[in-house]
Amino acid sequence: MAGERNNATITKFILLGFSDFPKLRSVLFVVFLGTYLSTVVWNLGLIILIRTDPWLHTPMYFFLSNLSFLDFCYVTSTTPKMLSDFFQKPKSISFMGCTMQYFFFSSLGLSECCLLAAMAYDRYAAICNPLLYMAIMSPTLCVQMVVGAYITGFVGSLIQLCALLQLNFCGPNIVNHFFCDLPQLLVLSCSETFFLQVMKFVIAVIFGVMSVLVITVSYGYIAGTILKISSVEGRSKAFNTCASHLTAVTLFFGSGLFVYMHPSSGHSLGYDKMASVFYTVVIPMLNPLIYSLRNKEIKDAVKRRKKKRVFPHCHC
């Protein structure tokens, strides 16, 4: 009997999504649609603003525009499918579609880990070595760091994908989630998943913990430099340049590490789903706001953009 079970091959998965809340289906759809559209508009708008305003052509905003691009791709890898599933019965996805969704989602998430670490180093260079900042953060180095973040995230996700494709799925095929994520797929596999569980943990350590370590060391030096600044205004200005990044880091790594640093189990998947909503849907929407609301240079760039619309020939 076991042999017959193992010979069966799953060709598609059923995503439960938010079927636990049938009465809230319409409300959840409107909320998630509004969140997704806001995320797309705000992130693409920030990218366009940074690329078209010469005053924002600095390393900090180069990294920020790439963060917005990652957030746009990141939320698009899962949310459109989730939104369409509100009106699908059953909410199915092919095995290959499921694995590829996880691959792109994972690649973008791991790349964002590396990019946030690179942004911490950028803030370290700006505050601890202000006179040498532009020399240290040369255009070549900035491009290398961003490309390195993308490639490293791609490789880390590709390794997991290759291991995932070696697993057998012989039933059940119901994924208690709104997208195909590794912890939920491991629970459904009828193969031995210990190796992939260990790999998941190692990847989380390499990308999550190591990135947090780089960020922590960078901000350790930054804190020491800020404390040496004599004027209150100077300390406040230096701190404000880091506050947005620190907020984004705390939100992203806090929710991500909660999901990927503990063993998967049936009773924990509900908590994982709620945490996943936060870091896959909410955080990509919040990031452009976090970096814009308290950022004087972004606000000034928006004002310049408005003036050019009213006075197109004004060189302001």
All domains of the chain in start order, with CATH = 2-310 (1.20.1070.10)
Rounded to whole angstroms, the Cα distance separating 186 from 194 reads 9
Residue type present at position 303? K
Q: For 35-72, what is each residue's pLDDT tens digit?
A: 999 999 999 999 999 999 999 999 999 999 999 999 99
- CA nearest to 238, candidates 219, 216, 213, 211: 219
DSSP type of residue 19: T
The strand ranges marked E within 265-313 are none
Q: Is the predicted pLDDT of residue 20 greater than 80, yes or no?
A: no
Please state which of the ranges 61-65, 157-161, 168-172, 282-286 shows the lowest mean pLDDT. 168-172
Structure-token pair, residue 78: 């899962």
User: So what's the pLDDT on residue 279?
Assistant: 83
* Helices 283-293, 59-76: crossing angle, 10 deg rounding: 160
By the 10 Å C-beta count (0-12 exposed, 13-18 middle, 19+ buried), 291 is classed as buried
Between residues 90 and 148, which one has the greater pLDDT? 148
Count of all residues that appear for the chain in the document: 316
Q: Is the predicted pLDDT of residue 139 greater than 90, yes or no?
A: yes
Over pLDDT 90: what percentage of the chain? 51
Q: Is the predicted pLDDT of residue 258 greater than 80, yes or no?
A: no
Q: For 114-126, what is each residue's pLDDT tens digit?
A: 999 999 999 999 9
Rounded to whole angstroms, the Cα distance separating 79 from 28 reads 12
